[in-house]
Amino acid sequence: GGGGSVAPPKTIKVGPAPTAPKAELSLTAKDVMNDVKPVLLAVKELRGLLEQKASPDVVTARCRDIVASVKVLDKKIEGATGSSAQRKKELAAAFQTFRGNVVSMMTGVRDAAKNDYKDKAGIDSTLEACNSVASTARGMLGVVQKADKAHADAMATYDKALAKHKQAAADAERKNKAALEAHKKAQAAAAATAKPAGGAAGGGPPPAAASASS
């Protein structure tokens, strides 16, 4: 008889662990700052050259440095990856604005130097462009900072979910172990109670059959 069998406990299963969120942009604000800084410094120097009425050669040499720095930044932004296509678009647009400012400023200073700094209106609009460079650089940084913050928030949510998952997995393991222990005990108890009964019942008939046959 199946008196000795006890149904095994149901195993508590825990779902899969949460996956870590990917960064919206592979660039951090720090990365961008590192490459924007040389451009901003060079722009500041170029503004100084404009105010000092520097010679066209000096201006051209400074512009060459700026172009090289902007290229480095361009490469970095072009190569940016990440989970957010939207953020990448925003960054590319902010960079185009920034680059446009830098280019118009360089053109303005070069023209001013060529014209012996006689064109007052041209110089004023070039100074305007100088001022815009810093604010458009901030615009670029702003996009990257937004991406940084979004990722930090997503990571915080993920950390909480991961902790919850680990807790649930530990609880399940503990409960499953306890259930298995209890099952083993129940099985042992069932086996113990089944034996004497089986012995009495099973032990009975053979001698009776033997006495009948004799």
Q: Reduce the secondary structure of 39-58 to three states and give it as a string.
A: HHHHHHHHHHHHHHCCCHHH
Confidence of residue 214 (pLDDT cuts 50, 70, 90): very low
Instruction: List pLDDT tens digits, range 34-90.
Output: 999 999 999 999 999 999 999 999 999 999 999 999 999 999 999 989 999 999 999
What residue type is assigned to position 134 of the chain?
A
Stated pTM of the model: 0.72
| Region for 73 from its dihedrals, namely left if φ exceeds 0, alpha if ψ lies in -120 to 50, beta otherwise | alpha
Instruction: Indicate whether 197 pLDDT > 80.
Output: no
What residue type is assigned to position 147 of the chain?
A
CA geometry: angle 162, 22, 35, nearest 5 deg: 135
Angle between the N-to-C axes of helices 29-52 and 56-78, in degrees from 0 to 180, rounded to the nearest 10: 170
